[in-house]
Structure 1
């Protein structure tokens, strides 16, 4: 995008009317359009006397429709983007979805009623309308009134959709005084299409729904929206992100022969909060085709990984799946899919969907022996909900005290109330343990079971310096859980998980690019921000470490785990627990524990698991 245009958008993004006038005026001027009749557009054209006109004078670049759409999407205030999930969809993605969705609808193009139920500034509706115009030659006044329907929660976006569609018509010689639109401002989670559109009721739903459902993470969803989410069956697992119910909403608003085409995040294959969505799709056996872009980022402003989904109410015993890139999408189209039977998919643990060879390899790995989760204890770390207060790196110590600095103030903490703690998320090798190990203020019975929190008088009497330090931070500790925490005492940890965990262990992070498991024999050392696999045998854990740092385990994670940005994968318990730990003979165990190189271990395990990588 042109640098001057970006500067204009940044300058006026919070002034909707002014920015609309500038963008429309630049577009009109750049494309040498004459507007004589259309009231909406005429009211937005700046005259030469306007103090804003200098923005148009210096706009010598060609301003296309695609750039106008991108400008409208970028101009949405950042606070609204977080809440509403608006994002600019590349033109080739819109065209691909619209072309291939419409080709599946068994109805003459002139009769198809299409909708985008989270339309943003109208990019998908623009693409549909343009295609209907080009191929049917019907006037836009008819297309807008009879064929195109849009909904968005943001009134600004609805207005910009009207502007965009009006400019489309004007650019092709249809300068009507006013167009009649079926564009509504409302919440898709509660909007009733049939009561608002008699045409949709008589059509028994839409023939086509396309779009890019809002990607708003659960933590950014407001209370009112959370209440509405509960009305949909696919939102009953975990804390659902906002895109999840849009599959069900779309299906509910299609007619019996309708087609849905979405570009959306691919995390629903495996994420815990999409379990009920997977169950919904499997149970109903909807005809579903998925084109997965893997870890390629299609959206500049989002780190999410995406896929294209085509869905209909037709019944099927299997889903279609394939991987593509942005460069191969148009070339391969809707060819070369893998058929994956719904009966082979487990909605609870996540879908393993890939080509036949990979699926077969995963099955062999998981069936090679007892699963990691059943054979070993996999535990999460502690959760104080205020790590910067409880956890510290001493700047000095003596026989009785550790010294730390917080907020420019020096404190001494009794050694007797402290425990060693480590953060697996920043750990890769055993030799790093001592340099990254920290101290934890532990106001409990210091590892003695049964666990109990120290009484306040006991804490104050036995550890007066620690008590003074915690008291200094009392206000902050009471603000945890937004002040609504139900703690045994104000100085208690936010959660009681993992407080008595001890033993030999392998430490590993929440996410990683490649597997690394760090063994420690420091039984009493606690963990936070990461996981640990516990076992009473040092030899057992060291052999397991060789297996989990192998090419086999890495391959397993690459094809079963949830991807994050920059090539990172989730190593959450839910994704590692089903890995099959192969059965080993004494000879095998000796080989793995006596100096074999990583390459030798990889070769040995690939043969052991009988897989082809």
Structure 2
């Protein structure tokens, strides 16, 4: 910001001196002159690199000027696009000073249309005399006056006094720090986003087109209907984008559609096929042209919705990335025919039902591609092997291509690298200079890269069509009629690049059921013409749990179990996508994927970790912890970067705030030795993300023993019918427990019930567990303490009330998956036979699986508890080898231990961390020598302090007034003394305890 005042004063004075000439409609003063003399210097003062003086790659530069050159027949694009890390932040539309932008509604509509189409909160309109900031989060209308959406106006003579205000909003540093999102972002959430509106519109076209074709050809199957309607939509969008980019003449599509002549329309599509060769307009292989017709009026109606005033968006601004995001959601649904009514509707595809499918956030796409490519390109540069020929030899694959959003960014990377190479050798044939420090790759060179380098696979046929379409749209970006080659067949055919098939199922998959083969769609990579190995593989692979695979694609699931080493226990489908990618790597190749982060610690990820560690593949991990990156979805992910190159270290970053990460994605976090990963191997990876964590974790692990070696870690019962067995509200009378279920009164014998914990909120650290329910327990204990099911005959006679109650829910109970399988009449058996004895015994520590480190209670009386998945409770009991339960309880409540739990466990919704029995079993417990008096002294003192703290906390809960204040101080003093005793054991070397999990609210209590 330094030095702005003199420049601003000079600009203002210069404009004021000659204002009459500048603003005269007859002076001939142009927009270009205004941009060079005034607008460019103004934004340079705001910190923007207007001339790309740093010579950063095109895909990353701050300011993009006129994203395509206007011609007499083209629609203009924004004069300036201001970006941070390749992401558009706002547009600036420039006018010459003689255009009074305060009253010119066309100028206001233009900039609002640009901004709204791009999904930006605000954009700017200026002729330097006036600068106007518009809200672009709402749909613009042609007849809106110039003040609709106006947020801010600054006249040129106000610049010296209001410059700091502009700097705080639109200065480069401010925008990079989130000023626009902070100040204006709230507006866009209240409006209907362009993506949603556009998706709704194309889905509407889809239904209308398919309904018309179905009415004409009722025997046509649903899949061809899906494909035909999608092809028509792709065609008209492609043509409209070409029109607004100056590649096709103005409103050619509209004029042809207006003739309502099917023959003329087919002739037009034939012309498009001859020129572009995309397969999109292929006359010979297209059944739409060869066999099927559609209503000409319907086609015209749809086409009209692509032009003003029906279409408030600008196709000159819609880019391939935007289409990719829209089409990702488009792919979720398919047309479905109601046989009874003959009507069509849109429903989720079977593969997407009950799935948490959302678009991948663009910053994740950008970072995955950038990191994977930077590694490969850096290696080529360091060896002097980076040439255009070597670039064209790179093979890039997306194994779950979807709408091709990852490949779009890959193309950017390759184009940037090619431009850099050609500039270095002063090549003037393959690149051309657009402006100072702004070079573009020739269309021919771009086409070569796309055809030679980029490949993708998807099991969804419609996704394959869309991926090809998106890549061709991307290829035409920055092009206009003058920059494209003259002649026919100018675009590449991508049929051999983007392939329909199953990335992870080969032709060795066999099924006698044709429907299974069709659904599975095995792929022969070689026969499809795909390369045998790749240099870069990127993807956001499908996340599908074992249970879902078993229920929907059992044959395919069994194939995975036989074919893939990572298909271990309760594996997720993305495991095998990683394994497949690794198997397809060239030497020195890189992989970049967005995957859930649980693989680093969960038991089923054991074989995946073993593979990655043994082959020393991991280069980077960006772990987003419990940050929710997919809006409204409980999917917790990481960026996983793998490499076949030799490396001595691994980067690991644990992100606690996604918004902060967006401002500094280049920060790679902690550099860890590769030996750490190798040493962990198949075991859970507990990785530090900073020096403090490294010191704490290293200290915990040194001279330690696992908790499972000095105590029993047990799960609770699992009834699989929590709506039947527990009783939360009851009255006890004459040996019976009376209660109601859905308004129906029941009673069961008290002797068949046990005290039970229902509400996890009742579990608090250092407090005794109190039951809040009873549970019907149809078991008895044998001579060795084992639980034995009460047989039906005895249950009827000894517990007739309980038998009557359970019989009332027999249909509900028989629907459960019960193990072991019940015998005749044993419908009331619990869902699992686990913990039927141990769960009701004391003393034990009971803790909540999902928590933040403050829910470890003590049970002395034998309260029962339940476990299941990532919910419920777990218990620690039967301490041995000299350790007391109180010592373990004190240990569990230490910050250092909570750090381990969060690292070893899994993030969970609500900001909690899950710590099941396998997690706590791995807890490193100080290895005490009970022959050493000092160790015995510390152990016994901790145990005594914990007992005192339990007593004080109980008294505190019933205390009032000054007694409560006094007891609060005693609690804090006892907790601090316990902490000091553990510090004597660990000896963190003067490390301030508050630096472990700093700012965590649990430790502020």
Residue 849 of structure 2 is aligned with which of 473, 485, 510? 510
Residue correspondence of structure 1 range 114-153 to structure 2 within 5 A: 114-133=396-415, 135-136=417-418, 137=442, 138-139=444-445, 141-153=447-459
Aligned to 1:61: 313
- How far is 1:289 from its partner? 2.6
Q: Is the alpha carbon distance of 1:412 and 1:526 closer, same or farther for their aligned partners in structure 2, counting shifts above 3 Å?
A: same
Aligned to 2:255: none
- How far is 1:28 from its partner? 5.6
- How far is 1:415 from its partner? 1.3
Residue correspondence of structure 1 range 351-390 to structure 2 within 5 A: 351-354=685-688, 355-367=690-702, 369-390=704-725
Aligned to 1:532: 875
Aligned to 1:466: 802
Residue 445 of structure 1 is aligned with which of 773, 780, 789? 780
- How far is 1:118 from its partner? 0.8
Aligned to 1:259: 590
Once the two structures are superposed, what CA deviation does each residue of 1:4-44 show, in whole Å capped at 9, x if it has no partner? Answer: 64255358399556577568756764771455444655699
* d(CA) in 2 for partners of 1:28, 1:602: 70
Q: Is the alpha carbon distance of 1:88 and 1:343 closer, same or farther for their aligned partners in structure 2, counting shifts above 3 Å?
A: closer
Asked which structure has the greater RCO (Cα within 8 Å, sep 6+), the reply is: 1
Once the two structures are superposed, what CA deviation does each residue of 1:143-178 show, in whole Å capped at 9, x if it has no partner? Answer: 443221110121121111122112223443567477
Q: Is the alpha carbon distance of 1:98 and 1:526 closer, same or farther for their aligned partners in structure 2, counting shifts above 3 Å?
A: closer
* d(CA) in 2 for partners of 1:7, 1:485: 52
Deviates most, 368-377 or 456-465: 368-377
Aligned to 1:550: 894
- How far is 1:211 from its partner? 1.7
Once the two structures are superposed, what CA deviation does each residue of 1:359-403 show, in whole Å capped at 9, x if it has no partner? Answer: 332232234554322211111001112221122223433122222
Deviates most, 379-388 or 25-34: 25-34
Q: Given that residues 287 and 315 in structure 1 are in contact (C-alpha distance below 8 angstroms), is that contact kept between their aligned partners in structure 2?
A: no
**Residue 564 (str. 1) matches residue 564 (str. 2):** no
Q: Give the aligned CA root-mean-square deviation in angstroms.
A: 3.5
Residue correspondence of structure 1 range 183-582 to structure 2 within 5 A: 183-191=498-506, 194-198=525-529, 200-201=531-532, 205-221=533-549, 222-286=553-617, 288-300=619-631, 302-316=633-647, 318-323=649-654, 327-328=660-661, 332=666, 337-342=671-676, 345-354=679-688, 355-367=690-702, 369-423=704-758, 425-429=760-764, 433-434=769-770, 437-445=772-780, 449-481=785-817, 486-488=821-823, 489-501=826-838, 502-523=841-862, 525-528=864-867, 529-535=872-878, 540-582=884-926
* d(CA) in 2 for partners of 1:216, 1:115: 21
In the alignment, structure 1 segments of 5+ residues that lack a partner are none
The two structures have a TM-score, normalised by structure 2, of 0.55
* d(CA) in 1 for partners of 2:303, 2:572: 43
Q: Is the alpha carbon distance of 1:602 and 1:484 closer, same or farther for their aligned partners in structure 2, counting shifts above 3 Å?
A: closer
Q: Is the alpha carbon distance of 1:336 and 1:541 closer, same or farther for their aligned partners in structure 2, counting shifts above 3 Å?
A: closer
Q: Given that residues 212 and 262 in structure 1 are in contact (C-alpha distance below 8 angstroms), is that contact kept between their aligned partners in structure 2?
A: yes
Q: Given that residues 652 and 669 in structure 2 are in contact (C-alpha distance below 8 angstroms), is that contact kept between their aligned partners in structure 1?
A: no
Q: Is the alpha carbon distance of 1:218 and 1:10 closer, same or farther for their aligned partners in structure 2, counting shifts above 3 Å?
A: farther
Aligned to 2:953: none
In the alignment, structure 2 segments of 5+ residues that lack a partner are 1-118, 120-191, 208-225, 249-271, 283-287, 289-293, 334-347, 381-385, 419-441, 507-522, 929-935, 950-972, 997-1005
| SS of alignment partner, residue 104 of structure 1 | helix
* d(CA) in 2 for partners of 1:10, 1:194: 36
- How far is 1:409 from its partner? 2.5
Deviates most, 363-372 or 568-577: 363-372
Aligned to 2:258: none
- How far is 1:276 from its partner? 0.4
Aligned to 1:605: 982
**Residue 109 (str. 1) matches residue 445 (str. 2):** no
The structure having more radius of gyration, on CA atoms, is 2
Aligned residues: 607
Q: Is the alpha carbon distance of 1:122 and 1:231 closer, same or farther for their aligned partners in structure 2, counting shifts above 3 Å?
A: farther
| SS of alignment partner, residue 359 of structure 2 | coil
Q: Is the alpha carbon distance of 1:271 and 1:331 closer, same or farther for their aligned partners in structure 2, counting shifts above 3 Å?
A: closer
